[in-house]
Amino acid sequence: MKKQSENSQFNRRSFLKTSSLGLAAFAFPFPVIPDFLKGVPMGIVIHSYGARWHSTVPSELYPGFKDAIDFMDHSHQIGAGGIQIGVSSWQSDFAKKVRSEREKLGMYLEGSIGMPKTSNEVSGFETEVKAAKEAGATVIRTVCLSGRRYENFHSEQEFKTFKSQALASIHLALPVVEKYKIKLAIENHKDWKAEELAAIIRDIDSEWLGVTLDFGNNISLLEDPNEVIKTLAPLAFSTHIKDMGVKKYEDGFLLSEVPLGQGVVDLKAGVDLCRKYNPNITFNLEMITRDPLKVPCLKEEYWATFDEMKGPEFDRMMALVSKNEFKKDLPSTSNLDPVEKLAFEESNVIECLKYSKKII
């Protein structure tokens, strides 16, 4: 109980300390942008607003985003250069409205989409790709796994089955994106180790297939984030920019998105490397405000999908955790009420956009 109380006190103190920054975003009449945010090209991934997306919490300061246009307008108001958002169920008329708003605001758009699992799903996938294209997207982000490798699979065979299905999905999707000349970018989503994903992209060898490079996800697979960036940057069409805090717990370590500049990722080096390989790449903030994730790498079942226990990788990651343990409690939201969660989320996004001027 003492630990929970300390976490609660820390998170409420953090909220009170930073909420004024979040409130400041609303002190400026739309579309005026605060001076410190002018010209910031970083975009925002909708996952940065997990609490606010379709929120029904009554709040004048943090009204829920009902659709992509709401999200785009708010992102523009706080100084973002673009958005990345799901395009499922978009009809042609709505896609045209998104395009019109995007062009009016001078923002970029990236879609987010699920790949077809069977041939019967290809037509639905094509409808979504067409809508994304119509709205002005040139890149659509996707994932092969919605969960986490060490939680979803309990044997090497299960993971091999997943890989086979994922490759089939990619091959079903490719003719569609090639037809519409829109890039499909697969995220390293706590499923593939960096070299595994790189090998898939290289083996398929299509100009329309690449990577959404997430700067922090592969820490959960015991990979140094800076090495992951080096491996995947040459193949990246898009990014999820985030910084990660780590802290030991009894079964391994805790992993949490933290405001940019506070974690273990070398953000400036990562951004520079991505831009070196792709001068037109977009940088999208994915600051997810939530409780820390548990990475139970001290439990035997964590290793079920790996060829063997890689002693050096484990040792290097635990050394990184020990050396870079987050000094305070990692951010969490479980002890905040709904409005506090919305405010904490907003202040984190604003803080990250402010910091992005140092790296973009």
Please report the domains of the chain, with CATH numbers, ordered by start residue: 2-356 (3.20.20.150)
The sheet carrying 284-285 orders its strands as 236-240, 209-214, 183-187, 139-142, 108-112, 82-86, 43-45, 284-285
The two structure tokens encoding residue 54: 């379709």
Mean pLDDT of the chain: 90
Q: What is the pLDDT of residue 71?
A: 98
Q: Is the Cα torsion angle 31, 352, 49, 271 positive or negative in sign?
A: positive
User: What average pLDDT does range 82-86 have in this prediction?
Assistant: 98
Whether 2 has a pLDDT exceeding 80, the answer reads no
Q: Is the Cα torsion angle 132, 133, 138, 140 positive or negative in sign?
A: positive
How confident is the model over 188-222, as pLDDT tens digits? 999 999 999 999 999 999 999 999 999 999 999 99
d(CA 340, CA 7): 15
DSSP 234: G
Whether 17 has a pLDDT exceeding 70, the answer reads no
Amino acid (1-letter code) at residue 67: D
d(CA 68, CA 5): 38
d(CA 257, CA 293): 9
Residues 46 and 83 sit within 8 Å (Cβ to Cβ): yes
Model confidence band, residue 309 (pLDDT cutoffs 50, 70, 90) = low
* Bigger pLDDT: 232 vs 11: 232
Q: For the stretch 55-87, what's the b/e string if a residue is b when 16 or more beta carbons lie within 10 angstroms of its beta carbon?
A: beeeeeebebbeebebbbbbbbbbbbbbbbbbb
- Mapped onto helix, strand or coil, the DSSP state of residue 12 is helix
**105-to-24, 140, 183 alpha-carbon distances in Å:** 21, 20, 23
Whether 40 has a pLDDT exceeding 80, the answer reads no
User: What average pLDDT does range 314-328 have in this prediction?
Assistant: 95
Model confidence band, residue 28 (pLDDT cutoffs 50, 70, 90) = very low
Q: What is the pLDDT of residue 34?
A: 41
d(CA 360, CA 73): 22
289: closest CA among 36, 80, 45? 45
What percentage of the chain exceeds 70 in pLDDT? 88
What dihedral do alpha carbons 294, 299, 305, 311 form, nearest 10°?
Answer: 100
User: What average pLDDT does range 19-47 have in this prediction?
Assistant: 53
**Cα 27 vs. chain centroid, distance in angstroms?**
28
Q: Is the Cα torsion angle 267, 260, 353, 144 positive or negative in sign?
A: positive
How confident is the model over 99-151, as pLDDT tens digits? 999 999 999 999 999 999 999 999 999 999 999 999 999 999 999 999 999 99
How confident is the model over 97-111, as pLDDT tens digits? 999 999 999 999 999
Q: What is the pLDDT of residue 311?
A: 81
Model confidence band, residue 41 (pLDDT cutoffs 50, 70, 90) = confident
Q: What is the pLDDT of residue 317?
A: 95
d(CA 81, CA 42): 5
216: closest CA among 312, 288, 291, 108? 288
User: What average pLDDT does range 22-46 have in this prediction?
Assistant: 52
